[in-house]
Every structure is written in C-alpha cells, then in structure tokens.
Amino acid sequence: MRSWASTYIPPLDSKFAIPQLHLQNTASRSLETLPIQDTYRMYVCGITPYDATHLGHANTYLAFDLVNRFLRARGSKVSYVQNITDIDDPLLERAIRDGVDWKDLATSQIELFRGDMVDLHILPPDHYIGAVEAIPLVLTAIERLSAADATYLVDSDIYFDVHTDKNFGTRSHLSKEKSIEIFAQRGGDPNREGKRDPLDALLWMQQRPNEPGWDSDIGKGRPGWHIECCAIALHYLDPNPESSYSIDIQGGGSDLIFPHHEISAAQSSVMNGKEFSHLYVHAGMIGLNGEKMSKSKGNLIFVSKLIQDGNDPMAIRLALLSHHYQEDFMWTEDVLIEATNLLNKIRIALSREEVPPTDEVINAIVKALSENLDTPTAISHLNKWSDLALSHSQSDAKKMGNPGELSRAIDSFLGIAL
C-alpha cells in the first residue's frame, strides 16, 4: 500500500556526540540500551481504518518517529514497517452501522491518516502493508504454524495453540484471570466452545454470511488480527539469521501489550524458533478532560479536526511531546494553548541573529532523548534557552550561538520544523 511523503532530516554537525539510545522494554520491565547496529528493524502496529487519526494514534506514531529519527541521526539505517488492518470486525461493524461499503470506509480513513502523518512530520514506514494485501503471507504463516503442530480446528476456523510457545505470557506479565478478561475486551473469544485454552487465537475465520472472504486452500475466509502483524513483520523486516531476535523493536500503544503483541510474538517464536523482538516498547494512552479517550465514549479528538480549526500541526506535535510518551496523558485545551505559545516563543528566539550559545542546549536535548525519549526534559531545556535568548540581560559577549544549527537539531530530533 502507498505510504506517505517523507520529510527531510537535517544532519547534525559531527562535533556533537550522539549517545546510544535507551528504551524501556515492557517484556524485561527494564531500561535497555540498544546495541550499536548498522540496521534496526522496527515494526509498529498500524490503525484499523474506521476512524481518522485521533490523538492517541498520533501519540503512538510520534513516539516511534522519535526512535526512528534518533537511530538515523546516529548513522544507522532503520527498516521500518507498519501495517494497516483494513479488514477486521470493527471496520465491518462501523461500515454496516454507517451504511457504507467497508472498502470505501477504509480507503477514506487511510487517506486522512496519511495526511495527518504528513502534517505531523512523522517519517513514513519503508513498507506500509494492508491486511488484505498480506493475505498470501498470512496463509504461508498459518502453514508454518500448522507444520509446527501449533494449530487446530474449531468447527472450520483455525486457531493457534498459544502454549506451543514456551514463553507465552512473558512479555505481558498478566495473571491468567486478567489475561482472559482483557482478551474478551479486546476482540478475543475466550468462551468459544471447542478451544483448548481460552486464550488461543483465531488465525483464519471461515467466511460468515454477508462478510467478505478470500479463497485459499484452507477455505474461503479472512485472517485473524495477530497473525497479520506477525506475518507482515517477518516478511518485510527480513530477520537477520545471525541475531537472537527476529526484529529489534515491536512498538504500539499500551493497549496492544495483551493480547495483540503477546500472541503475535508467540506465533513468530513458534515459526522462527527465536524470540520475536528484542524490545517491546509501548506508548501510553491519551485521555480527555479526566476521561479515557475512546471510540465507545465518543470523545475522540481527531488530528485533522484540530488542524482544520486552525491549529499549527507543529504545536500539536509539541503538545504531545510535552509529556513522556510512556505515561498516560490527559489532553486539555490548555495543553495545546501552552504548546502554541511555546512554539511561538521558540520561533521568535530562533529568529534573532544573535543568540546565547547553542551547543549546550543541543547536547542537552539529544541526551534527554537518548534516555528513553525524555521529551519533557528536552523541551524544558529548549524553553529555558528561549527565555534566555529573549531576555535583555544577556550581554553581547555571550551571544555566540548558532540559531540555524539549533533549529536544524530541533527539526532532526524532535521533528519540529520551525
């Protein structure tokens, strides 16, 4: 599927040392240092296109955009793949509710998503793959799981036996009871009769009346969600046979830790005989005025709407960066107003010909980002520097900074074009 336009990343002068990146790994529950590599393989779970990009999505893709930018700035290549679940229950349900064709609904929402990503300066994935176009890959993956004796039938639907992965559960750290509860809330079917374990996941669902289906040797039907990501990641990220992991970073929102990432990783481990990802990295959830932002509550804030209302996309980006990506965050109008004011202040400060020294603030921003993408600290350094640049107390002798270089560093690492 077509991705979206890329953005130029200005290089940083070689006088700046860029430290190694540290990220919190959900599976090990610790902060880990990414080893130095020529290429990193990163997979971030994409949207189900039945709604445009809301701030929760933006927050997730923004976090992994920072990872992408940081690793590239260090001189590595980042092979980045994202999927789009363009066939799934929620999409079909929404299309029926709104009386539209599910394909038209998906196409329109994917187009809006692309526009939002461009506006927010989020670097595109190298491969942006839809579930429908990935069906041949899914079928091959199911064959491999069947060959490993990890599948069984319930009626004619095919299920993955999660316990064929000896590490099942070690990435999400939940009790069995909690796992079942969350599984049911997030599209799973723990109570279906005939399953060996309530958590076993659907790989291939035979066509239901009035639903789309694709022909295959295992019957006309459609793929399950978890196998889609695993099949796409293993194919397009082309795992390095020398590595003990198939990929380096599996990313997504924290609502994907279980069951999605746990089951996807379990399937990949059974297929490849090694752990799916080195790091499992998760972004927090965004709430609104004290409530969780969710489709069911109808309180989603869409990026496209904020932009239509006249907000600068860079202010939206800065507003999201004002909190740490891993923390759940409550969005309010004030957050956006503050970010807009700060953005203006930074722009005015950078427009001055003579500014305070900039090397120190650039180093501080890069260091903060290296420490698990600590954007609040990075922004606080930038804020202080801007205050200093705009204060009259600064003596002329100290105005030796290079505003162009700072501007390029902000663009490169924080993705904020000024």
Q: Which residues bind Zn ion (CB under 5 A)?
A: 45, 229
Identity of the residue, 80 or 331, whose beta carbon is nearer to Zn ion in the bound complex = 80
Q: How far is the CB of 88 from Zn ion (least distance, A)?
A: 11
- Which residue number, 174 or 330, has a Cβ lying nearer to Zn ion? 174
* Residue 229 C-beta: closest distance to Zn ion, Å: 3
Cα–Cα distance for residue pair 103/299, rounded to 1 Å: 25
Nearest residue to 131 (alpha-carbon basis) of 210, 45, 63, 62: 45
CB of 230 to Zn ion, least distance (A): 8
Name the minimum Å distance from CB 45 to Zn ion.
3
Do strands 286-288 and 291-292 pair parallel, antiparallel, or not at all (unpaired)?
Answer: antiparallel
CB of 165 to Zn ion, least distance (A): 17
Compare residues 45 and 342 and give the one whose CB is closer to Zn ion.
45
- Give least dist CB 138 to Zn ion, A: 12
Shortest Å, Cβ 160 to Zn ion: 15
Smaller CB distance to Zn ion: residue 92 or 229? Answer: 229
Q: Which is nearer to Zn ion, 45 or 349 (CB)?
A: 45
Min dist CB 264 to Zn ion, Å, is 6
Q: How far is the CB of 305 from Zn ion (least distance, A)?
A: 26
User: Of 82 and 322, which has the nearer Cβ to Zn ion?
Assistant: 82
Among 208, 225, 207, smallest CA distance to 216 is for 207
Query: Nearer Cβ to Zn ion, position 140 or 383?
Result: 140
Query: Sign of the CA dihedral 56, 29, 267, 160?
Result: negative
Measured from the CB atom, is 63 or 368 closer to Zn ion? 63
CB-nearer residue toward Zn ion: 129 or 349: 129
